[in-house]
Amino acid sequence: MAGIRQNKLTKHLPEHVYYDARRGSFRIKLVDGRFKELGRDREVAISVAKEYNRIARPKVNVTVEQLLADDKDNETFFGSCVDNLLNRILQEEQPSTRVKYSFVSDATRCKEFFCNIPASKIELRHVNDYINEYHGDASANVQNRKVAWLKKLFSYAIDESIMTTNPATLKKRKRVADKARQRLKLEWYHAIHEASPLWLQTAMDLSLQTTHARLEISRIRYHIPPSDTRNCGCTWFKDPVTTENGAIYGKLLIHRQKVLHKESAHVAIPIGEKLKQIIDRSKDKVMSQFVVHRIQKRKFKKVRKNLNQVPLNAISSTFTEVRDLIGCCDHLAQEQRPTFHEIRALAAHLYDKQGIDLQSRMAHADEKSTRVYTKNHVEFIEVPLAEIDTGK
CATH assignment of the domain containing 115: 1.10.150.130
- In this structure, the answer to whether residues 149 and 33 fall within a common structural domain is no
Q: What CATH number corresponds to the domain at position 65? A: 3.30.160
In which domain, by residue range, is 287 found?
186-382
Q: What is the DSSP letter of 235?
A: E
Strand 266-271 relative to strand 381-382, pairing? parallel
Beta strand residue intervals within 99-139, DSSP E = none
Tell me which residue of 310, 315, 309 sits closest to 341, measured CA to CA: 315
CA distance 344 to 258: 15
Beta bridge pairs of residue 382: 268
249 and 272 Cβ atoms separated by less than 8 Å: yes
- In this structure, the answer to whether residues 313 and 236 fall within a common structural domain is yes
332 found inside a domain:
yes
SS3 label, residue 179: coil
Single-letter residue type at 117:
I
50-78 b/e with 16+ CB inside 10 Å = b? eebbbeeeeeebeeeeeeeeeeeeeeebb
177 found inside a domain:
no
252 found inside a domain:
yes
The domain boundary residue, chosen from 9, 37, 70: 70
The domain boundary residue, chosen from 144, 170, 196: 170
CA distance 368 to 353: 20
295 and 197 Cβ atoms separated by less than 8 Å: no
The domain boundary residue, chosen from 13, 43, 70: 70
This prediction has a pTM of 0.58
Number of domains in the chain: 3
85 and 79 Cβ atoms separated by less than 8 Å: no
Per-residue model confidence as pLDDT tens for the chain (392 residues): 444 455 777 777 888 888 888 888 898 888 888 888 888 888 888 888 888 888 887 765 555 665 555 555 567 889 999 999 999 999 998 887 888 999 999 999 999 999 999 998 899 999 999 999 999 888 888 999 999 999 999 999 999 999 999 999 999 988 876 667 788 889 999 999 999 999 999 999 999 998 888 889 999 999 999 888 788 999 999 999 998 888 999 999 988 766 555 655 788 889 999 999 999 999 988 888 999 998 876 655 555 566 788 888 899 999 999 999 999 999 988 888 999 988 988 888 888 778 776 665 665 444 333 232 223 324 566 777 888 888 77
72: Cβ–Cβ under 8 A, 6 or more apart, which residues?
Answer: 118
